[in-house]
Structure 1
Amino acid sequence: MKQHRGDENKLGWALQLTALRYLGFCPNDLQTVPASIVSYLAGQVGVEPQVLANYGQRDKTRTQHTREVQEYLGYREATENDLKELAEWLLKRALEHDRPITLLGLATQKLHTAKVVRPGITRLAQLVDSAREKATLETYRLLAPLLTEERILFLDGLLKANKELGSSRLEWLRQGATANSSKFILENLTKLDFLREAGVDTWQLTGLNPNRRKFLTQVGRKSTPYLLSRLKTERRLPILLAFVVQSYEDIIDETLDLFIGYLEEANSRAINDLEEFRLNKARAMDEKVRHFQALGSFVLSEEIVGDKLRESIFQYLPRAALEAAVEECTMLVRPIDNTHYDFLLKSYKAIRHFSPRFLAAFTFHSNVATAPLLQAIKTLCQFNASRKKHLSDHSTLPFVPGKWMNYVLNPNGSINKEYYELAVLWELRAALRSANVWVTGSRRYATLESYLIPREQWPGLRPEVCRQLGITEDGAKQLNLLAAELETAMTKLEQRLGKEETKVRIEEGKFVLSSLEASGLPKRVSELQHQINQRLPWVELIALLIEVDSWTKYSDCFVHASGHELCDAEAKAHLYIAILTQACNFSLARMEKATDFTEERLAYYTHWYLREETLRPAITKLVNFQHHQPLARHWGNGTLSSSDGQRFPVALSNRKAKALPKYFGYGKGLPFYTWTSDENSQYGSKPTVSTDRDALYILDEILNNETELPLYEHTSDTAGSTHIIFALFSLLGLQFSPRIRDMGEQRLYRLGRLKEHPVLKPLIKNLLKQRVIVKHYDELLRITGSLKLGYVTASLLISKLQSLPQKNAMAQALEEYGKLVETIFILRYYESEEYQHRIEAQLNKGEGLHALREVIFFANRGQLRKRQLEAQANQASCLNLVTNAVVIWNTVYMTEILEQLKTGNQPPEEVDYPHLSPTRSEHVNPYGRYQFNMEEELGRTKLRELL
């Protein structure tokens, strides 16, 4: 640095050095570098930021500096061979990831790691486009052996109209179930029979990357039969092939879900019937007790002679009345265990409508050596096929739990066929949920191994996965790194415990943390917020959507399924109203009456334009726009995010909706789970199940993130925290920082005997099983790599890991790894009050956005009215889009207000900006405007015409 004369050269050289080190290239125009970065580096080298304007007046100077910086950092310019190798590497990645932004990010990361100067963005974009095109052709080449003449006829036949169905087979296969009913179970079994007749269950797409397969499947789900029929052969057939194979798996999974859901609902009804029985019969039981108390008195009385006993009893209670009372007592007497299984028998006839076909349709496997349940299923299938009236094989009874045995076995020792079948189905439900039984052809109810990178492919992928994750391949080395973090965390916390002002202390062998005190805001901040509220203009929600689109061009992402773009103002107007209809929870019929748009046209735009592959990039555009707002940078830098569920009641029958009295009273509901950045944008949203723990879904949108947010750290409430989640975040190179309820009750773990730390030693008693982690570390990497490369979604993998038996080695290794990572986090949390406030503030941002969403989602009393999961997902995304639009609009106008206030007598201070929030809605009108035509209404002489 000293050898460069002139302040501008020192600063210019420093900027080029920094840019190359962190970005992998030097910008052509250093004048475009953000002022905050220029000021920071200027302070580092001891010059004024303004001197940068004089830098590079001689091109030779700048070029020379570029060469010096490259040589100093060990970088080199990209050669044709480098670009050729990059193109080949991108082709492999394009077979894994189809998203251009993902491929672009991977390419820049690879060049950066290899210390090759990144070429221009246009050249990289060309390489990405070329790789995606070649991936299409390579996909067809990989699948060509499967495309026999017979299969091609079958696939193309799916696109033709079927008079019996009233639609094409393609559309029939795409229709999902909307309720846990026997009707939908039987419909799905019919679909499976149709696909099996074509041999779909034998088609193997193992040579195709899961992400590529998922992409092709999505195109097949959304495209019309007409559009698919017009595609070239090399595009159409892979799409149909992937769609059909995926549909086969999905239908199996959905059928098993329906089966489990149907039995659970039947069981709930039986429990409710038992409770109702107890309530209804309580009065009758009291009456019988009084009768038999009186009868007992007669029997025990010494005044009544034996031959007059019966006569005396019948005088009190006539014979007919006594006989009726005895019969009613027989009905009132419950089994000794007092279970509800006899009430479950009421559902037997309905269950019997589908149970024989259901059991015969699948091949069940068990990880239990003896597998008595599988033997019972086989026996039941044989019995159903033979149409016998009685079951006599007692050798299959070992599967029957104790409480069921009183029902399955009659008093004479014979088998009660109805209860036997109910017991088989009920135990099968439990075994499927716990992963003790899996099903051939299923994805959700399959073995853990089927979710992971195949073992034979793993050695070749391991180095690339570890490079992308930034993690070592050596388990012992990784444990040493974590041990160093643990040691640092213990040292810092022990130092803090010795200070008087600390809010963490030790009482009765436990950590106790004083409640966080809300930091009082200076009076000037409240005044600033008041000034902003006063100046924000009143705006209609639809006008806000249009204005934000003029800034962000998010509507460009909404392309018709045929590929046609929105070409005129009228089309865009329909799109805005369609989005608003979904986000505000209106029905299309109600929106027709409130606007000049017909229900038919709104339905057209909703169906053909609002879908995952258009809504996701539109939301991405909005999140990226917010990411580049200067004011948003005062709220965060995009590295921290949070997630939480927002629960909505459900008005119609919905198989995903669950009863949760705490939130839905006597009804049912489901949550929209959302992911919120520290810049107050929401980059993800999906419908989930109320009874599922948040931890199942927490990684989904983080791994699917397509925005420019450099996500690194994530927080949630206790429901999102498990040891497995801590482990997966760490292995993925991310930081998990939840707010855990009753943190003082959490166990802390150590790797070995603590030689130091006398204060903490009594509290960190639990010893980790290091050998388990090291022994199975490669498997942990394979699990994480499978998530990273898209072989499995996080929610599916986590649900499987959590349901596995505790003895499973991989699950146990993840648990041990997660215990260590959680211990490090807890110690850091106790040590830093700033860290605690940061987590709390981020979760509060999510709550603020939920409040804003409630304002937007106001129609139909906020009750969800979508039956299909896909329609629910699209509605969640529309709500997400509109919420982000409001946040952006507020941010932009707040920025303008702050600029105006700077010219006043008391200009705002930037130190107060982090306390401001764009999640305000008092000035936004989501309801529309009322119109009053007084002359027409007062002059009405007769009733309005009836429809």
Structure 2
Amino acid sequence: MPRHQLLSPQTRAALFDPPSEPTAITRLYTLSPDDLAHVRRRRRPWNRLGFAMQLAYLRHPGRALGIGEEPPTAMLAHIAGQVGADPALFVDYARREEARREHLAELQAAFGLSPFGLADYRAMWRVASEVARGTDRGDAIALAVVEELRARRVLLPVATVVERLGLAVRARARATAYASLIRGLEDRQTERLLALLKVTEPEGRTGLTQLREWSEVPSAANLVRLAERLATVRAIGIEADRARRIHQVRYAIIAGEAGIMDAQHLSRLGPERRLAVLTAFVIEQEARLSDAAVEMFDRLMGALFRRAERKRTERLTDRAKEQESLVWMHAVSGRALVAARRNGTDPFAAIEAAVGWEAYEKSVDHAVGVAETADEGNSLPEVVERHASARRFAPTFLQTFAFSSYRKSDPLLKAVDAIKALYASEGRPTLAKDAPVSFLQRRWRPLVLPQGKNLDRRAYEMAVFAHLRERLRAGDVWIEGARAYRRFTDFLLPRPTFEDLRSTGSLDLPIPVSWPDYATERTKLLDDRLREVAALAEVNRLPGVTLEDGRLTISPLSRAVPEAAGALAKRLSALLPRIRITEILAEVDRWTGFASSFTHVRTGEPAFDRAAVLGTVLADGTNLGLSRMAEASRGLNHARLIWTAEWHVRDETYAAALATVVNAHHAHPMAHHWGPGDTSSSDGQFFRAGGRGEARSDVNGRYGDDPGALFYTHVSDRFSPFHTKVISATAGEAAHVLDGLLMHGSALSIREHYTDTAGATDHVSGLCHLLGFRFAPRVRDLKERRLYVIDRTADYGLLTPLIGGPVRLHFVEESWDDLLYLATSVRTGTAAPSALLRRLAAYPRQNQLAKALREIGRIKRTLATLDWLKDPDLRRRSHAGLNKGEAEHSLKRAVFFHRLGELRDRTFENQSHRASGLNLVVAAIVLWNTVYLGRAVDALRAAGEDIPADLLAHVAPLGWEHIALTGDYVWADDDVDSSVAFRPLRRIPASFQRVAA
């Protein structure tokens, strides 16, 4: 789009031209009896037709019919049919300028419309200015102006007037934002900001580049480098509060530019804009560096604990071998002693003869040592032994940040200060005698406070590091300036906003907001359901479930897929056209326009280089990377891909593109065979890391000894992968369940959700309930799960052995307001649910809110378990939903094949783009397969075959045998023939027999 043009041709047409779609024409241009009465006052048929067309234009889009303008053919025919005129007569009307002016004046007077004038221009300037404060998107500014003019019953001016107005307002809004952001900067601050654009020696790079680049590999040296960069950023002296001076969306635009522009680009900007972008860069960089440093400290401590656990395991293995020989020696000596007592001989001589006295003394000493160092089930002694490793990074970390807590005189923070003082002291450091210890967990106390000895300094330091890590994770200790580790309440709605919503009854939660009402409803529901299932168990009427002597047994589900479905799937797959992956992306974009979702970071306009967008997506989706994609592509080069990736490819644009494809897929008739569209499942897929990506990834023994990461994906019952994100291989999956259900951006409205065991926790169950989702996890160890009751004195028959305890409702009552506050904050999108759940679950001694949510989760989990026992259809739906997600993993493996399918990215951002690109490519394949499977079904039915709908429910759109995923990638602008709606199907192979009716 030209630089000084506010609207794209498509947007301009949508705002200022009548529609051409039949449904829109019928809806907008069906004349009422009063309209027809006005029209019939014209005597000549061409005047009636012209008058009606003028009336239609004034109704929508709200402007006068232009001189010489030709209306859309379908619109003209629709209106001509209503007034009884030949559409060809409009040509005669268009030549009569005087009649056109008279009719326009009459219509304006009749319907209270006024022409656009100077006063309207000034009023629209104010409207556009308000919108432009928070966006650079020309379509949003123009739409606000057009809607306001329509509301005022003012005729729209020509599009160029609105565009000139919007351009001027947008330029003024940008200049005002830049000036506000840098207002009050001191000369020294300005000098330091501009110094970031200069090349420094001996690095040979600008300060801007140096601050942007750091390694995410967890090591003491890298943490020190992060601290150095953070010190450089802080020395510039830019206050984070400056970001609040302007609209937050406007600030996000400037910050987005700051994350992309290099020194050369910035040097070409005007002075105010250059300083504003650098100011935003410094503010954002302090937050990024702070988060990165805390994350690295967390991972370093985690690695230290893992190494200690491995050392403990090795020690226990070695000790077991020693203890085996020790046991045999004492068994031999014990037999000798028993025999000596029985025979009345000298016991000492018996031991000497059996094992030798010297060997016996050594074995006793060895046994005493083993007893004194008996393992108590933790690896903390090994952790303390790694004190020297922690001292390489912990002092830097502690000195870099100021920690805050909700607790007054928090003993942990006092302990941190004591250790800081210890590190800062000269000579041989000694720990203060009054160093606080009340924060210590029970398992740490024997190590830190050995009996009869002074406080152990090394154990004390390691305990402080470990407790600080846990408290940062939990959020009750935070760091000012960080973003991911800020105070817990900063993730929530402002409290006054929540109170306003509550007072007006606008919390939008599917539960009673009154505690007495909620408690009564939950108590009755849980009691009724327990008695219902207990009664069914008494008469052995729980389908597939037996309860005997307190033991629960659930029979495996019978096979629900007919054999004929497999044969049908093969026949349909054989009909699908052979196609290249590039052609699939191009066709799906032609159907849906998903490439337009990749908007420019500043202007919000769609990317003009469609081929570069699709190439960038495929480079992420296949794990090929931009450099190799440029080498393997015809029609693309590296510069085009890099520019597109930097300015148009972001997490939010990926999400918007995915939502477009998912919406199109769910609307297709063929997809309706696979489910109602309101259930989903989620699961993590492990991708191994290789090369430079190994150091960025984590090892989880569940997936072997290789490092890697999880792509956690939500899949609908219609096979649409509607959300994905990257999580650590060692992170719990449960915290991320609600992210996909609430933050997917598509038109899906999920009612019921399934996960495997890894996705089921009481906190997730509780929050799902508060937000109105039916959470039905497939729990493999169901017979080990306990039920919870509210009335502990009630008799629930055969279920009694399964009851694990009472629900402590007093926890819920005490925190009821905070629970509503939490749920409302999540519902309104103030914070990602995973960020809140991780903090609630992180700290071992959970706070009151975490305990209350757990109790709600126990009620919900008990109800879900009871539903699972009595409802085989629920069990079958859950299994089927999870199987769909697992089947999609195979397709993802096939697509993500370059670089051996290994993650080789050093940063989380690049890994996230890989996951998003893969999900979007797979969603496009699923949509393309769905469309052509539907065409294949139509072809077979047209040939006289009966294709039962119940068989189609088992035909998955996940095949890729007909897709060329490798080879040269062709990105020609004419790679899709727009004159041909669909590709021809392949011929039906003779080897496939007809499907029985």
Bin of the TM-score, shorter chain as denominator length: 0.7 to 0.9
Measured in 2, the distance between the counterparts of 1:783 and 1:98 equals 33
User: Is residue 2:577 matched to residue 1:541?
Assistant: no
Relative to 1, partners in 2 of residues 1:277 and 1:555: Cα closer, same or farther, differing over 3 Å?
same
Residue aligning to 1:614: 653
SS in 1 for 2:942: coil
Q: For residues 344-379 of structure 1, what are the alpha-carbon distances to aligned partners after superposition, in whole Å with 9 as ceiling and x for unaligned? A: 678555543443332222223456677544333222
Please name the residue that 2:293 is paired with: 255
**Greater CA deviation, 135-144 or 856-865?**
135-144
Kindly provide the CA deviation profile for residues 405-431 of structure 1, in whole angstroms up to 9, marking residues without a partner as x.
787789995777555544443443344
Equivalent residue for 2:700? 660
Whether 1:178 aligns to 2:219 is: no
Instruction: Read off the aligned partner of 2:732 and give its amino acid letter.
Output: R
* 2:571 matched residue in structure 1: 531
Correspondence list, 1:79-118, <5 A: none
* Contact 2:585/2:921 (<8 A) preserved: yes
| Offset at residue 928 of structure 1 (A) | 2.6
Which residue of the partner structure matches residue 643 of structure 1?
Answer: 682
Tell me, in whole angstroms, the C-alpha distance in 1 between the residues paired with 2:497 and 2:286: 25
Residue matched to 1:583: 621
Whole-angstrom distance in 2 between the partners of 1:493 and 1:211: 53
SS in 1 for 2:437: helix
Tell me the equivalent position of 2:395.
Answer: 356
| Corresponding position of 1:266 | 304
Among residues 184, 193, 199, which one is paired with 1:148 in the alignment? 184
Q: Which deviates further from its counterpart, 215-224 or 382-391? A: 215-224
Q: Which amino acid aligns with 1:526?
A: G
Give per-residue Cα distances to partners, 1:812-863, cap 9 Å, x unaligned: 2222333333333333333332232222222111111111101111223322
Q: Which residue of 1 aligns with 2:156?
A: none
CA distance in 2, matches of 1:149, 1:435: 33
The number of residue pairs the alignment matches comes to 838
Q: Offset of 1:634 from its aligned partner?
A: 2.0
Between the aligned partners of 1:229 and 1:613, the Cα distance in structure 2 is: 28
Aligned to 1:118: none
- 1:775 & 1:269 partners in 2: Cα distance? 41
The percentage of counterpart residues that share the same residue type is 27
**Residue 697 of structure 1: CA displacement?**
1.0
* Residue in structure 1 matched with residue 430 of structure 2 by the alignment: 391
Q: 1:144 deviation in Å?
A: 3.9
- Separation (CA, whole Å) in 2 of partners of 1:171 and 1:251: 14
SS of equivalent to 2:715: strand
Matching of residue 708 in structure 1 with residue 747 in structure 2: yes
Structure 1 window deviating more from structure 2 (794-803 vs 713-722): it is 713-722
Match of 1:336 among 357, 373, 381: 373
Q: How far apart are 1:589 and its partner, in Å?
A: 5.5
Residue pairs, 1:491-640, within 5 angstroms? 502-503=542-543, 505=545, 507-508=547-548, 509=550, 512-521=553-562, 523=564, 525-559=565-599, 561=601, 566-567=607-608, 572=611, 574-587=612-625, 591=629, 594-595=632-633, 602-640=641-679
Once the two structures are superposed, residues 683-719 of structure 1 have per-residue CA deviations (whole angstroms, 9 ceiling, x without a partner) of 2111101222211111113222221223333221122
Contact 2:473/2:838, CA 8 A, preserved across alignment: no
Question: Aligned runs of 1:467-478 on 2, under 5 Å?
Answer: 467-469=507-509, 472-478=512-518
Q: Which moved more, 1:804-813 or 1:542-551?
A: 804-813
Structure 1 position 267, deviation (Å)? 3.6
Question: Does structure 2 retain, via aligned residues, the 8 Å contact 1:159–1:229?
Answer: no
Deviation (angstroms), 1:915: 1.9
Which of 884, 900, 915 is residue 923 of structure 2 equivalent to?
Answer: 884
Based on CA coordinates, which of the two structures has the bigger radius of gyration? 2
Structure 1 distance, partners of 2:771, 2:83, is: 43
Determine helix, strand or coil for the equivalent of 1:519. Answer: coil
Aligned 8 A contact 2:530 2:866 in 1: yes
Matched residues in 1 for 2:134 and 2:511: separation?
Answer: 21
**8 Å Cα contact 1:561-1:609 kept in structure 2:** yes
My pick for the range that moved more, 87-96 or 461-470, is: 87-96
CA distance in 2, matches of 1:670, 1:229: 39
Matching residue's letter, 1:477: D
Q: Check the 8 A contact 2:766/2:853 in 1, yes or no.
A: yes
Distance in 2 separating the partners of 1:103 and 1:723: 46
Distance 1:706 1:592, change over 3 A: closer
CA change 1:95–1:284 in 2 (3 A) is: farther
Separation in 2, partners of 1:727, 1:195: 42
Q: Deviations over 1:906-926 (max 9, x none)?
A: 231334322221011222232
Q: Structure 1 counterpart of 2:815, which letter?
A: H
Q: Which amino acid aligns with 2:373?
A: I
- The equivalent of 1:920 in structure 2 is 959
The equivalent position to 2:197 in structure 1, one of 130, 153, 160, is: 160
* Contact 1:140/1:234 (<8 A) preserved: no
Pairs within 5 Å for 1:457-472: 457-462=497-502, 466-469=506-509, 472=512
* Cα displacement (A) at 1:625: 1.7
Give the 5 Å matches for 1:126-141.
Answer: none
Distance in 2 separating the partners of 1:788 and 1:138? 32
Q: Distance in 2 between matches of 1:279 and 1:767?
A: 41
Q: Given the superposition, is the C-alpha separation of residues 904 and 354 from structure 1 closer, same or farther in structure 2, using an over 3 Å criterion? A: same
Whether 2:418 is the aligned partner of 1:379: answer: yes
Deviation at 1:679, TM superposition (A): 1.9
Gapped runs of 5+ residues in structure 2? 1-25, 31-77, 85-112, 115-124, 143-158, 333-345, 970-997
Tell me the CA shift for residue 177 of structure 1.
Answer: 3.6
* Cα 1:612/1:169, change in 2 over 3 Å: farther
Q: C-alpha deviations, 1:527-571, integer Å up to 9, x for none?
A: 322210221222232332233233223233335557576546xx7
Amino acid at match of 1:543: E
TM score, norm. by length of structure 2 = 0.69
Alignment TM-score, normalising by the size of structure 1: 0.72
Answer with 444-453 or 217-226: which moved more.
Answer: 217-226
Partners of 1:747 and 1:93 in 2: how far apart?
55
C-alpha distance in 1, partners of 2:821/2:141? 22
CA distance in structure 2 between the partners assigned to 1:913 and 1:672 by the alignment: 29
User: Match of 2:582, as an amino acid?
Assistant: I
1:70 is matched with none
Q: Which residue of 1 aligns with 2:88?
A: none
Q: After superposing the two structures, state which structure 1 stretch, 143-152 or 667-676, moved more.
A: 143-152
Q: In the aligned structure 2, how far is the partner of 1:59 from the partner of 1:752? A: 74
Q: Assess if the C-alpha contact under 8 Å between 2:765 and 2:861 holds in 1.
A: yes
Please say if residues 498 and 821 of structure 2, whose CA atoms lie closer than 8 Å, have aligned partners that are also in contact: yes
The match for 1:189 among 227, 242, 246 is: 227
* 1:631 partner SS: helix
Matched residue, 1:677: 716
| 2:767 alignment partner, one of 725, 728, 744 | 728
- Describe how 1:67-86 pairs up with structure 2 within 5 A: none
Indicate the larger mover: 485-494 or 846-855: 485-494
Q: Which secondary structure state, in structure 2, belongs to the residue aligned with residue 398 of structure 1?
A: coil
Aligned twin of 1:111:
none
Counterpart amino acid of 1:265?
A
Residue 797 of structure 1 and its aligned partner are, at CA, apart by 0.6
In the alignment, the residues of structure 2 paired with residue 98 and residue 635 of structure 1 have an alpha-carbon distance, to the nearest angstrom, of 41
Deviation at 1:902, TM superposition (A): 1.1
Amino acid at match of 2:941: K
